[in-house]
Amino acid sequence: MKFKKTYLLYILCLVVLLFNNYELTFVVWSFTALITLRTNFSKQFIYIISCFIAILLISFLTELFFYDRTIFNKVRDVTYLLKPIIGLTLGYNLAKKYGNNTLIYIINCGVFLSIIHLVIILYSILANKTLSVSEIRHYGGYFNDFEPYVFILLLFSTKFNIAISKQKRLIYLLIVGTSILCYLSRTNFIQLIILVLAVKGFFSLNVKSLKTIAFTVLATLIGYALIYNYNPKRKGSFTDEFLYKVKIIPIEAFKTKINKEDWKDFNDNFRSFENIKTFRQVYYGGTQAIISGKGLGSTVDIGLKLLNNDQTKVRYYPFLHNAFSTIFLKSGLLGIIFYLLSIYLIGKKIISTDIQINNLNNLLLGSGIFLIISSWVFMGFYLKLDSKSILIGLLIGYREYLKNQLVNSKEIAQTSETDTQL
């Protein structure tokens, strides 16, 4: 019964994200992390968690010694900066509880969430009588990086030794795949490509992998050229709206000159605008701000009030769309270094001859690569509605579980061999 309760709590940790309420998410995640808390963690996991603790600590000390902000703003930032720590720990704890069932539980949760998403999409289309990309994404959600992982696990079920029938696997692939398509998210498609390449081992440096990566890049460039020449309209058909979002990918988060008076230019390149504002405000704060940021409670003055996803007008942004910009604001270059180190540690392989462990190594390597992209466009681990930290914690914990099982089985075999000789 205890085991089932923890699984229900795990599902709740994912479902609660649908309510778009970070305070509720923080409470549910924290409670689940506490009741599943373990006393023993691997060195690699401790190193990963320590990176995020360092970011929080730098932000705290910077505010303590150099600034003086309101309690509310400081507490708000603490809860946000704790999110990856709680999520990774939660996933790690659950993996150790679920053992061999970890991956199938991930799949079941993913299918459940996909069904909920499809129901929401269908209802929003029928109720609002619209096929507008912006409307569908408004009601159904803008992004979900949990489901692509589930799709990958199903697609490569034999590589991960997942016991599932062919019929059930195909049905699940159809459900999850359709749900992913309905998010109409460019980032989800990039995520899928990266994870597929990773699982197939194409990020290992050899002639075959370099050829595959080169082909993928070439195909992407050709595809983009075709879309660019087609010149899709910003407010056109369903297809045009989606292709337009694809067209502006190269400049959306990198454009340096943005006309605030041009609504189209400002809206399409708002991520770039945020980054520019953040860099300038930290840079003009002097050497201390560049090195250790502006601390807990710091905000970026956008210069005008804008309507956010919570339907409230905000001028001073505590968190941006870009995790690197956000960390730079809160903890400076030191924070950026620790964040990059955490990504490196997540993608770092553990040495093993076991095929399943090596496949998990590849999946986590792909996760690290995707984290860099996700952190630039979608806040990475710090996104309010992100479930990636739980999932990556699960994968790390499960990989360690398999490694420990392998070590134990070898010790038993050696003991049996010794007894036989005696």
CB 114 within 8 Å of CB 140? no
pLDDT at 76: 93
pLDDT at 330: 96
**Exposure on the CB side of residue 367, measured as CA atoms within 13 A:** 29
pLDDT at 17: 87
Helix (H, G, I), strand (E, B) or coil at 301: strand
As for how many domains the chain has, the answer is: 1
Give the residue-averaged pLDDT of 136-163: 89
Q: 200, 218, 217: which is closest to 209 by C-alpha?
A: 200
Identity of the residue numbered 7: Y
Residues 45-72 have pLDDT tens digits of 999 999 999 999 999 999 988 888 889 9
**Exposure on the CB side of residue 291, measured as CA atoms within 13 A:** 6
pLDDT at residue 379 is higher than 90: no
Would 127 be classed as within a structural domain? yes
pLDDT at 289: 93
pLDDT at 207: 64
pLDDT at 390: 94
Residues 320-372 have pLDDT tens digits of 888 999 999 999 999 999 999 999 999 999 988 899 999 999 999 999 999 99
pLDDT at 1: 40
Would 415 be classed as within a structural domain? no
The residues with which 301 forms a beta bridge, in sequence order, are 316
Give the residue-averaged pLDDT of 414-419: 53
pLDDT at 242: 59
pLDDT at residue 177 is higher than 80: yes
CB 95 within 8 Å of CB 394? yes
Domain housing 363: 2-396
pLDDT at 265: 54
Would 410 be classed as within a structural domain? no
pLDDT at residue 152 is higher than 90: yes
Would 405 be classed as within a structural domain? no
Residue 184 φ/ψ region, left for φ over 0, alpha for ψ in the -120 to 50 degree band, beta for the rest: left
Average pLDDT value for the chain: 84
What is the C-alpha to C-alpha distance for residues 74 and 394, in angstroms, rounded to an integer? 30
Would 402 be classed as within a structural domain? no
Residues 193-202 have pLDDT tens digits of 999 999 998 8
Residues 92-127 have pLDDT tens digits of 999 988 888 899 999 999 999 999 999 998 888 888
CB 93 within 8 Å of CB 397? yes
pLDDT at 139: 76
pLDDT at residue 416 is higher than 60: no
Give the residue-averaged pLDDT of 383-408: 90
| Residue 123, H or E segment | helix 102-128
pLDDT at residue 384 is higher than 70: yes
pLDDT at residue 36 is higher than 70: yes
Would 236 be classed as within a structural domain? yes
Residues 284-315 have pLDDT tens digits of 999 999 999 999 999 998 887 776 666 677 88
Would 408 be classed as within a structural domain? no
Residues 238-259 have pLDDT tens digits of 566 656 656 555 555 555 555 5
Q: 33, 246, 14, 27: which is closest to 144 by C-alpha?
A: 14
Would 184 be classed as within a structural domain? yes
Of 109-113, 203-207, 385-389, which has the strongest mean pLDDT? 109-113
Q: Would you mind telling me the total number of residues written for the chain in this entry? A: 422
